[in-house]
């Protein structure tokens, strides 16, 4: 009734079409709907015979003809629309349907897209557009091809993962085999299989990158196509999918850009010529002959704590064993390294040449660098989304590639170990490996300490050192703990090298070499060692300055942020404590103290700021004030006193030589934590300084129970034995200290002095032994004044006057004042002596 009333008032075609649309949406009875359809169709036909200027009559005829499956009437109506109204949105819409009927799928798709752009509702067009896309055969052909390629790619990834896990597990099982020689008998086949697997994995990475781009494009297209079936707002959803996929596609493309990696062919380090260091070159060649391969072509000294080899040159030259062999010697590892252990390490490195491990590997190295650059490009964008396929691929493939290459690396190390042990024996191998592990930990300590010093002084470092001085007790505690942990942990599949304990175990099962042991230290092979050391230390200092500058910039950025926060949250003590901590790192002690004072005012019942203030005072070397601040904090917060508190207090009292108070503080620290190595050592040193030598020996012995491999505990106990004139015990402990850490120059010097003091006409061999230890102490490039003094005295004792004269001449430029005059007199006396034996000089007697 309502519709009829409206039509009586305005019986136009548009009103009739609106009525039909309303009835269709309301699910009106078919008979009623057909009545209005017939009226609309008759009116539309009548209007087509007049000069109407709107497309409504032909739209109505096209609609009803399409619904009635009257193809002739439908096509006539569409043709009229094309002629009369070519740019109307309905023309595009119905032309698209006509193209569908003609199976012209691509043209239909274009017509529907144009209609949508001109305003045809999405719900009217979605079904037809989907039909046009679905019927395009080439899309499905490419879709199936893409699907098959992606499935094959994923299958290849799975096979690589399984193969890598199998091979890696096999290497771990070999390490646990009792008869290792039997297990390695077919190592040529195993090594070839690993080499092939590494090459396949390397090439597969490059193949994967374009496929990754394809998947990054195909997946959002597939999802967008699926969303076309959503009845409402599907275009918005499709647009959102495509927008979000742009980041994923860009990430995938960045993987291709980063794969073009050029390896740096420049050989790093300071070149050591044969004319410059003939003894070193002679030893290197001797080891090559012992192993059975050609010697290295270059020796390079680097500012690091490692010994390694590489082979430079073209791929063809390397496979023909014509490449340039380079030996890298890290200055950090040479301190305290015996020649015998050094020979075994060299034999291990020559084993890599012998097994041709260095002939290839460039492809794997390029892939590893490419993946690192790929990861860096992702992190630089600072927007890692869970839907970025490239990110997940990189994580997964890095694990596969690492598992394969790490397993291959472990096999190479086992075979190189076998070469070393066959030449020089398992004992030399273990000595060398233990030395490298310890020196690496200590080298890292000195690097970190160097950076901290630069930050605190705000002054660039001019040189780096000393790498063979002894770390602080708290650092020694950590070093000894880490050393035990590193040495004793089992091999894992994520390791590039077998673990130390596994290497010690399986090398004892291998064929043992019988090469003659060589006495002395590696630095003794060098001429002008101090000059070389100074050159390398300057390079290390530059690296430290760069690291410190970066850390300093970050700290100051954080301080600036905290400054802004303190203006907003003026009563938050945590802000001031954190800023004080950063000020302490930057060496701004007064600003740090001021911030801790503010934090105390903000939170007077919080203990952390009180202790922080004491830490700053200790760092600024105001030990008296630091001790008082600690005592005040402990009195105010008695329940907060911890091991660290008492240990810090003991260090403060020790520095101001209040040994009784220091002993009490360290005793309290031990009560808090009886297994703290550093606390027993610290109290032992305080007892030694107080003259309580027997009690000091007990504390050092307790420290040795905790860490039996500690060279420092043996050395400190030896010093206490010397004070008690128990020289046999002292000598045993000094020898133990040297055996645990051959770089302990102080132990060599003290043992030289002890032996020299015991030497006489009845025991002339002791003086010769003293010379040996004095020479080893002098082999270290630092502490030259003390080392040369002892060396000159021992040479005089054995009447080697030319060597004594040479040592004194090297010593003289390092001396000043009366000491220089005394040594000048000694030099004159030695130069005047004949080849006949003479009494000891006054300097020797005082030593």
Give pLDDT tens digits for 514-541. 777 777 788 888 887 777 777 777 777 8
Distance CA(440)–CA(479), nearest Å, equals 10
Lowest mean pLDDT: which of 177-181, 217-221, 761-765, 798-802?
177-181
Which residues does residue 141 pair with via DSSP β-bridges, in sequence order? none
Give pLDDT tens digits for 150-208. 788 888 888 888 887 787 777 667 666 655 665 566 566 777 777 788 888 888 877 87
Average pLDDT over residues 361-372: 69
Cis before 466? omega within 30: yes
Tell whether the model's pLDDT for residue 836 goes beyond 50: no
Q: Which two tokens stand for residue 335?
A: 């301190």
Q: 656 pLDDT band (50/70/90 cuts)?
A: very high
Give pLDDT tens digits for 598-643. 999 999 888 999 999 999 999 999 999 999 999 999 999 988 889 9
Distance CA(529)–CA(745), nearest Å, equals 15
Predicted pLDDT of residue 111: 84
Predicted pLDDT of residue 841: 44
Give pLDDT tens digits for 235-278. 555 555 555 556 566 666 665 666 665 555 566 788 889 999 99
How much is the CA Rg of the chain, to the nearest whole Å?
A: 42
Tell whether the model's pLDDT for residue 412 goes beyond 70: yes
Q: 379 pLDDT band (50/70/90 cuts)?
A: low
Q: 844 pLDDT band (50/70/90 cuts)?
A: very low
Predicted pLDDT of residue 714: 95
Q: Which residue would you say has higher pLDDT here, 285 or 766?
A: 285
Identify the three-state secondary structure at position 542: helix
Tell whether the model's pLDDT for residue 49 goes beyond 90: no
Predicted pLDDT of residue 834: 43
Predicted pLDDT of residue 380: 64
Average pLDDT over residues 502-520: 79
Average pLDDT over residues 416-424: 89
Average pLDDT over residues 472-496: 79
Predicted pLDDT of residue 835: 47
Tell whether the model's pLDDT for residue 353 goes beyond 80: yes
Helix (H) or strand (E) holding 328: strand 324-330
Average pLDDT over residues 444-470: 74
Q: Which residue would you say has higher pLDDT here, 463 or 449?
A: 449
Identify the three-state secondary structure at position 115: helix
Distances, alpha carbon 195 to alpha carbons 101, 153, 226, 822, in Å: 60, 21, 45, 66
Distance CA(397)–CA(718), nearest Å, equals 55
- Nearest alpha carbon to residue 540 among 441, 468, 464, 465: 464
Tell whether the model's pLDDT for residue 404 goes beyond 80: no
Distance CA(359)–CA(251), nearest Å, equals 34
User: DSSP label at 834?
Assistant: -
- Nearest alpha carbon to residue 73 among 91, 52, 92, 98: 98
Q: Which residue would you say has higher pLDDT here, 305 or 239?
A: 305
CATH superfamily membership of 2-134: Tetratricopeptide repeat domain (1.25.40.10)
Q: Are 197 and 164 in contact (CB under 8 A)?
A: yes
Q: Which residue would you say has higher pLDDT here, 84 or 316?
A: 84
Q: 839 pLDDT band (50/70/90 cuts)?
A: very low
Q: 354 pLDDT band (50/70/90 cuts)?
A: confident
Average pLDDT over the chain, rounded to an integer:
80
Predicted pLDDT of residue 842: 44
Helix (H) or strand (E) holding 515: none
User: DSSP label at 688?
Assistant: H
Task: Quickly count: other Cβ atoms within 10 Å of residue 691's Cβ.
Answer: 10
Q: Which residue would you say has higher pLDDT here, 380 or 24?
A: 24
Give pLDDT tens digits for 11-46. 677 777 777 777 777 777 777 778 777 887 888 888
Predicted pLDDT of residue 612: 92
Identify the three-state secondary structure at position 606: coil
Domain ranges of the chain: 2-134
């Amino acid at each position: 009734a309502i519709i009829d009333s409206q039509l009586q008032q305005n019986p136009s075609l548009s009103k009739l079409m609106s009525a039909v649309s309303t009835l269709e949406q309301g699910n009106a009875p078919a008979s009623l709907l057909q009545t209005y359809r017939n009226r609309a169709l008759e009116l539309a036909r009548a209007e087509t015979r007049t000069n109407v200027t709107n497309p409504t009559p032909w739209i109505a005829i096209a609609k009803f003809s399409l619904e009635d499956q009257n193809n002739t009437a439908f096509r006539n109506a569409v043709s009229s629309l094309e002629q009369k109204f070519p740019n109307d949105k309905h023309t595009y819409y119905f032309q698209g349907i006509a193209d569908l009927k003609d199976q012209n799928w691509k043209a239909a798709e274009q017509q529907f897209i144009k209609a949508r752009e001109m305003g045809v509702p999405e719900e009217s067009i979605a079904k037809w557009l989907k039909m046009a896309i679905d019927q395009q055969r080439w899309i499905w052909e490419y879709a199936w091809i893409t699907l098959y390629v992606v499935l094959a790619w994923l299958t290849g990834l799975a096979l690589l993962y399984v193969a890598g896990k199998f091979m890696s597990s096999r290497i771990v099982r070999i390490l646990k085999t009792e008869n290792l020689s039997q297990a390695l008998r077919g190592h040529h086949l195993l090594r070839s299989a690993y080499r092939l697997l590494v090459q396949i994995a390397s090439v597969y990475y490059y193949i994967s990158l374009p496929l990754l781009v394809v998947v990054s494009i195909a997946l959002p297209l597939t999802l967008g196509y699926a969303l076309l079936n959503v009845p409402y707002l599907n275009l918005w959803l499709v647009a959102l999918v495509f927008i979000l996929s742009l980041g994923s596609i860009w990430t995938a493309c960045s993987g291709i850009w980063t794969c073009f990696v050029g390896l740096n062919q420049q050989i790093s380090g300071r070149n050591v010529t044969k004319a410059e260091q003939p003894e070193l070159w002679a030893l290197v060649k001797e080891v090559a002959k012992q192993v059975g391969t050609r010697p290295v072509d270059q020796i390079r000294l680097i500012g690091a704590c490692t010994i390694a080899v590489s082979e430079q040159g073209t791929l063809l030259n390397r496979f023909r064993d014509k490449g340039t062999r380079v030996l890298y010697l890290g200055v950090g590892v040479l301190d305290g390294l015996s020649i015998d252990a050094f020979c075994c390490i060299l034999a291990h490195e020559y084993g890599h040449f012998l097994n041709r491990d260095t002939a290839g590997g460039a492809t794997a190295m390029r892939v590893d660098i490419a993946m690192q650059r790929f990861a860096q490009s992702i992190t630089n964008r600072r927007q890692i989304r869970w839907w970025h396929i490239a990110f997940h691929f990189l994580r997964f493939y890095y694990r596969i590639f690492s598992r394969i290459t790490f397993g291959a690396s472990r096999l190479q190390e086992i075979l190189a170990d076998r070469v070393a042990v066959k030449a020089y024996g398992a004992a030399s191998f273990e000595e060398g490996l233990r030395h490298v592990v310890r020196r690496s930990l200590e080298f890292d300590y000195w690097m970190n300490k160097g950076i901290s010093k630069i930050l605190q002084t705000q002054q660039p470092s001019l040189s780096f050192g000393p790498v063979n001085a002894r770390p602080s007790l708290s650092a020694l505690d950590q070093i000894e703990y880490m050393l035990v942990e590193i040495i004793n942990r089992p091999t894992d599949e994520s390791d590039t090298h077998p673990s130390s304990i596994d290497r010690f175990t399986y090398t004892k099962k291998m064929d043992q070499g019988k090469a003659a042991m060589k006495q002395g230290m590696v630095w003794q092979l060098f001429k002008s060692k101090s000059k070389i050391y100074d050159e390398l230390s300057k390079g290390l200092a530059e690296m430290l300055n760069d690291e410190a500058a970066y850390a300093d910039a970050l700290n100051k950025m954080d301080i600036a942020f905290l400054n802004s926060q303190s203006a907003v949250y003026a009563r938050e003590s945590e802000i001031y404590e954190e800023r004080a901590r950063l000020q302490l790192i930057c060496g701004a002690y007064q600003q740090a103290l001021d911030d801790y004072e503010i934090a105390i005012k903000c939170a007077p019942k919080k203990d952390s700021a009180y202790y922080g203030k004491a830490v700053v005072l200790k760092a600024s070397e105001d030990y008296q004030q630091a001790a008082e601040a600690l005592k005040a904090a402990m009195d105010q917060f008695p329940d907060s006193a911890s091991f660290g508190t008492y240990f810090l207090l003991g260090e403060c009292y020790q520095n101001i030589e209040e040994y009784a108070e220091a002993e009490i503080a360290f005793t309290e620290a031990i009560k808090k934590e009886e297994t703290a190595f550093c606390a027993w050592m610290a109290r032992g040193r305080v007892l030694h300084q107080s003259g309580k030598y027997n009690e000091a020996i007990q504390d050092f012995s307790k420290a040795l129970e905790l860490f039996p491999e500690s060279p420092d505990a043996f050395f400190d106990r030896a010093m206490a034995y010397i004070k008690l004139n128990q020289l046999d015990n002292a000598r045993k402990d000094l020898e133990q200290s040297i055996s645990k850490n051959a770089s302990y120059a102080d132990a060599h010097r003290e043992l030289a002095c002890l032996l020299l003091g015991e030497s006489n006409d009845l025991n002339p061999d002791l003086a010769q032994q003293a010379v040996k230890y004095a020479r080893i102490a002098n082999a270290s490039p630092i502490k030259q004044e003390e080392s040369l003094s002892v060396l000159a005295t021992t040479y005089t004792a054995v009447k080697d006057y030319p060597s004594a004269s040479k040592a004194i001449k090297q010593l003289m430029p390092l001396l000043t004042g009366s000491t220089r005059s005394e040594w000048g007199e000694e030099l004159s006396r030695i130069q005047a002596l004949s080849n006949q034996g003479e009494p000891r000089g006054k300097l020797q007697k005082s030593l």
